[in-house]
Chain A
């Protein structure tokens, strides 16, 4: 992999953000709205629920972590869609860059986009609702890694669809995370799900991430095995995403969509 080229491709997206104040505002706006919304819901639940009465901010922490996943995946999709919307696709694919370099550039730039939105939201939650995700301690780093790997894996799967089927796949890009949210057990324990759905849910890293988050905040204990499982499952999805992306690329070359995508 050529880091000079990866940096070049990342620069294209960094310039795009830097050149547009409304774009920066948009990145910050939605995570902050989430924090406000779930902050008030969280306050109400804390006051009214025996399950949450010992731990302020479980729901808000879950909302922030879910938003991190959502933003990382959407950032990945957005960067790819930007190439389609600007009709720059063919220029990109006739440049001497490898698919692995495109994936690396999108992965690195997605974290940049995600953090622009999330850092202000995380900081706002501390004085406003007295909730800090940093209370999760060192495991927070690993939970964020698992979420990020899973987020970009979903991004890879959706961009593979865009590559193969063109802009008509765009709606799937927006809806992708909402398909998984009910099974992710973000705001409720896995026991709420019917038995059959519990089996499916355990195949997603989200259940392990959010169960562990609740375990740390409510029981004040750390289950390293759950954290390890969440990273491992996320990584399996990432490998699957990369394979599908490569397959979509070669499929698009056969179908001829690389040359006129965006039209």
Chain B
């Protein structure tokens, strides 16, 4: 599945959160969505998931508008993980995966839960309540939920935020392996520039609701005359707007 974002804007009262953004995310590629806090990343993801109605413009996924009648058909082939959105705390990990597996219409659900639990090392705490897990365990469960339906498009919002380096590396490595074995298009919003360099084919830099630059990590670093993506990010974030 590919994603095409055309002239997308969102205005909340008098505040323009997203200002006429355009980009294409090609099938089976990973795009990094970067920008300072409040630059419009979450609002953009919300519009791509059909959670927020755009003020103008459209989001086309496989040439179908996410806000039209076929939204559910598209959503069954997509998923989303974010540390800021949690699963019901009083349900066990297995129960949460079962509920979401059913909501996504997953066939052979028992096998799928077994498979994903093996992959993400969830077996030791499948029967434990989700609210009783550590941050690292919760994060892996959230990732398991986001992959339960074998999505063709995956939205990841800061997937390794607040994780220790070991677990963070495990998650990044798992995403890399999963991507190499499956046909999947990924949109990754992250503040971890090393993670973005490792996982993304291209990146988009957002500032004050607009896309201010785009390209491969190497191209952007070279273009801005910096040593790495982190320095490039800082230069763009602290400079005046310059439209790509």
**What is A's interface to B at a CB cutoff of 8 Å?**
2, 4-5, 7-9, 11-12, 15-16, 19-20, 82-83, 86-91, 93-98, 250, 253-256, 258-260, 263
Contacts and interface: CB of A to CB of B under 8 A. Distances in A.
A91 B83 CA distance: 11
Given A93-B51, A94-B75, A87 B86 contact: yes
A96 B90 contact: no
A246 to B, nearest CB: 14
B12 A94 contact: no
Given A5-B105, A258-B51, A258-B52, A82 B88 contact: yes
A258 to B, nearest CB: 5
26 contacts: A8-B98, A9-B103, A11-B99, A12-B91, A12-B99, A15-B91, A15-B95, A16-B88, A16-B91, A19-B92, A86-B86, A86-B87, A87-B84, A88-B86, A89-B85, A91-B80, A95-B103, A96-B72, A253-B50, A253-B53, A254-B53, A256-B10, A256-B52, A258-B51, A259-B42, A259-B46
B207 interface: no
A90 B80 contact: yes
A235 to B, nearest CB: 27
Nearest to B67: A253
Contacts of B28: none
Contacts of A89: 85
B87 A91 contact: yes
B80 A96 contact: no
A96 B70 CA distance: 10
Given A11-B98, A19-B90, A256 B103 contact: no
Nearest to A91: B85
A91 B46 contact: no
A95 B75 contact: yes
A90 B71 CA distance: 15
B242 interface: no
Contacts of B76: 96
B102 to A, nearest CB: 3
Given A93-B51, A256-B46, A259-B52, A87 B99 contact: no
A88 B88 contact: yes
Interface in B77-127: 78-80, 82, 84-92, 95, 98-105
B73 interface: yes
A152 to B, nearest CB: 21
A253 B53 CA distance: 5
Contacts of B52: 253-254, 256, 258-259
The listed residue with most B CB atoms (<10 A of its CB), out of A2, A16, A88, A255, is: A88
A21 B59 CA distance: 46
A94 B49 contact: yes
A258 B50 CA distance: 10
Interface string B1-33: 000000000101000010000000000000000
